[in-house]
Amino acid sequence: MQLVQSMFYFILAGVFEIGGGYLVWLWLREGKPVLYGIIGAVVLVLYGVIPTLQPPNSNFGRVYATYGGIFIVLSILWGWKIDNVIPDKFDLIGGIIALIGVIIIMYAPRN
């Protein structure tokens, strides 16, 4: 159960960071109203809180390293589903390598 909860928080953090960044991007790069930027900034602040919900025995470095790998995969998915950029084989290979790294860093048994 703790693994499922941990992965949920990683995915939630990724959605908040990518979504918040995307709203700021739309505001500054595509001329959307300033409200996009404000909402994006609030979402980015919430993203900063979510990783602290990881299990108490987690440390900052491992949580953020793991989150980096999750972010890679979520960014590929975001580009595919939101920006209609179909991932190529190198995107997929890189995403798989990142996920393998995530599993090792965060979830490998330690003494």
pLDDT at 110: 86
Distance CA 95, CA 80 (A): 13
CA distance 77 to 88: 12
Q: Is 55 helix (H, G, I), strand (E, B) or coil?
A: coil
13-43 pLDDT, tens digit per residue, is: 999 999 999 999 999 999 999 999 999 999 9
Kindly list the averaged pLDDT for each block of 10 residues, start to end, along the chain of length 111.
Answer: 92 96 97 98 97 92 94 96 96 97 92 77
Q: Where are the beta strands (DSSP E) in 1-111?
A: none
Please give the pLDDT value at position 38: 98
Residue 21's Cα: distance from chain center in Å?
11
Task: Yes or no: say if 98 and 73 are a contact pair by the CB < 8 Å rule.
Answer: yes
What pLDDT was estimated at residue 7?
Answer: 93
Residue 54 has a pLDDT of 95
Count Cβ atoms within 10 A of the Cβ of residue 39 and give its class: 0-12 exposed, 13-18 middle, 19 or more buried. middle
